[in-house]
Amino acid sequence: MVITLLFFLLFTFLIVRLTRRSTPTLSIGEVTLAFGLKALLACAYGYIFLRYYHGDDTWEIHAGGLEEWKILTTTPVQFFLDLLPINAWKQSGGNLSSAAPYYIDKLEWHLQVKTLAIANLFTRGNYYANAVFFSFLTFWGHFLLYRLATREYAGNRNWLLFIIFGFPPVLFWLSGIRSDGWLFLCFAGLLYQGDKWMKEKRPASLVYALICLTGIFIFRNELLLVLLPGLLAWYLSAKRQHRPVRAFLIVYGAALLLVVASTYITGIPNALQLVVNRQQAFLSLTGNTRFALSELTPHAGSFLQVLPQAFTNAFLRPFVWEARGPLQILSALEVLFFWGLLVAMLVRRNKNRWQAPGPRWHWLALFFSVLYYLLIGFVVPFPGAIVRYKAIPELLLLVLMVSRLSTASNTEKASNSTANVTP
């Protein structure tokens, strides 16, 4: 407990120092509250899954970190050699097509456990102190998204603070010691640095964005199915100064046609088969609770038939009346909040609400999030996994809705001020 508290105080001090010149600034109280909540939920994540679910991936990663700690202190050369593709090449017998996926899979694991091994030098293997350390690393994903969102919508700063730093359901799933926090850091970094490069054309920003994109590929490469078309549309709309919605509709429409065409053209990979394989891997697993999800076949018709199930499972469930246990109840309330905020955004009366198109990264976040929701719905039948996987797109959609509410609110204030001016 003492070492965990000391680490919390140290990292809070570091965050305050590192963010003191940022725009907009975060006060000491805001940093303490934001980081404190994230660290608390990171510790709660480990405790809940150990106490009630007999451990899960977070405790396996912790155990892997302890093993790597021993390797680091006994054979440090081997510790770093594991990050190279030598072992993957040997395991595959020199076959590049099998060595590459094996290496990427192992690299995801090694990046997590070896980072914890380095932390263990200071935490002495304490899980909860490691959770605070991990929270410090992934806190910067929230911070970068906050800075990006407040560039255009500083008028609704308090709402953005709550959604990005303090919305418990999403924060809980992004704080556990596992790849989701790393993935969020990479995605937020990609949005932030990509937007900066589009506006300022600094080569360093492009390099940082590519590093973040590489991280996304390492931690969850299937995201590229829905992310790469959006990045292309973002670039084309900025370079040619097209309306973002037009560019995104054209690029994603063309991508959809290529995906469907790949099922009929021999000699090229069947993109739908990749989704089918992923679903079959999930369907082969066992779990206490499972949503109804029909098996897919690599044909467009099959995906259309399963689409209602995918949408319901990802966007609407668990329903309040079917929630069992505290985590499912929390997830059901989270769904209600999401749809309540969406309805509030749509029904708010303001004729100028949709005149402001919003920044281009908004369109990437929108298309990516909706399609990733559907991809999760097509592939994953387990409610626990669904709510964890959709944490990132849900947070992005919540930020977009709050930003749009902010646009409406600011427009109303401006209109009222104009109306109250006497000639």
- Asked if residue 402 is part of any domain, the answer here is yes
- pLDDT tens string 294-303: 999 999 999 9
- pLDDT tens string 100-132: 778 888 899 999 999 999 999 999 999 999 999
Lowest mean pLDDT among 47-56, 87-96, 319-328: 87-96
- Asked if residue 416 is part of any domain, the answer here is no
Alpha-carbon span 360 to 235, nearest angstrom: 9
Tell me the DSSP string of 198-252: HHH--HHHHHHHHHHHHHHHHH-GGGHHHHHHHHHHHHHHHHTT--HHHHHHHHH
Contact between 4 and 126 (Cβ < 8 Å): yes
Q: Find the radius of gyration of the CA atoms of the chain.
A: 23
- Asked if residue 197 is part of any domain, the answer here is yes
Alpha-carbon span 194 to 238, nearest angstrom: 11
Q: Are residues 235 and 215 part of one domain?
A: no
Alpha-carbon span 132 to 2, nearest angstrom: 12
Lowest mean pLDDT among 104-108, 367-371, 376-380: 104-108
Which residue range(s) make up the domain with 149?
1-219
Q: Are residues 54 and 2 part of one domain?
A: yes
Q: Are residues 259 and 118 part of one domain?
A: no
Of all residues in the chain, the percent with pLDDT exceeding 70 is 92
What was the pLDDT predicted at 345? 83
Q: Are residues 201 and 227 part of one domain?
A: no
Q: How many Å separate Cα 154 from the centre of its chain?
A: 23
Q: Are residues 266 and 157 part of one domain?
A: no
Domain boundary at 219, 246, 268, which?
Answer: 219
Res. 423 pLDDT band, cuts 50 70 90: very low
- Examine the pLDDT at 410 and tell me if it is beyond 50: no
- Examine the pLDDT at 91 and tell me if it is beyond 90: no
Q: Are residues 264 and 123 part of one domain?
A: no
Looking at residues 341-364, what average pLDDT do you find?
A: 74
Domain boundary at 219, 242, 269, which?
Answer: 219
* SS3 at position 94: coil
- Examine the pLDDT at 27 and tell me if it is beyond 50: yes
Tell me the DSSP string of 349-404: --TTTTTS---HHHHHHHHHHHHHHHHHHHH---HHHHHHHTHHHHHHHHHHHHHH
What was the pLDDT predicted at 94? 66
Q: Are residues 274 and 371 part of one domain?
A: yes
- Asked if residue 339 is part of any domain, the answer here is yes
Q: Are residues 209 and 246 part of one domain?
A: no
Looking at residues 255-260, what average pLDDT do you find?
A: 92
CA-angle at 14, arms to 8 and 132, nearest 5°: 30
What are the structure tokens assigned to 107, written together?
Answer: 């690299």
Alpha-carbon span 145 to 163, nearest angstrom: 11
- Examine the pLDDT at 57 and tell me if it is beyond 60: yes
- Examine the pLDDT at 409 and tell me if it is beyond 70: no
Q: How many Å separate Cα 52 from the centre of its chain?
A: 25
Contact between 299 and 275 (Cβ < 8 Å): no
Looking at residues 323-331, what average pLDDT do you find?
A: 85
Alpha-carbon span 374 to 304, nearest angstrom: 11
Lowest mean pLDDT among 82-96, 247-261, 312-326, 367-381: 82-96
Contact between 331 and 385 (Cβ < 8 Å): no
- Asked if residue 415 is part of any domain, the answer here is no
Q: Are residues 196 and 231 part of one domain?
A: no
**In terms of DSSP H, where are the helices of 284-325?**
300-311
Q: Are residues 280 and 215 part of one domain?
A: no
- Examine the pLDDT at 283 and tell me if it is beyond 70: yes
What was the pLDDT predicted at 196? 93
Q: Are residues 178 and 60 part of one domain?
A: yes
Pairwise pLDDT comparison (93 vs 80), residue with the higher score:
80
What was the pLDDT predicted at 406? 60
Mean pLDDT score of the chain: 88
Looking at residues 236-263, what average pLDDT do you find?
A: 89
Query: Identity (one letter) of the amino acid at 261?
Result: A
Domain boundary at 219, 234, 268, which?
Answer: 219
Q: Are residues 145 and 198 part of one domain?
A: yes
Long-range contacts of 161-165 (CB under 8 A, 24+ apart): 161/30, 161/34, 163/395, 163/398, 163/399, 163/402, 164/395, 164/399, 165/30, 165/33, 165/34, 165/37, 165/38
Contact between 203 and 163 (Cβ < 8 Å): no
Looking at residues 44-54, what average pLDDT do you find?
A: 90
Q: How many domains does the chain have?
A: 2
What was the pLDDT predicted at 404? 78
Q: How many Å separate Cα 312 from the centre of its chain?
A: 21
- pLDDT tens string 154-210: 778 888 999 999 999 899 999 999 999 999 999 999 999 999 999 888 999 999 999
Lowest mean pLDDT among 87-101, 221-235, 264-278: 87-101
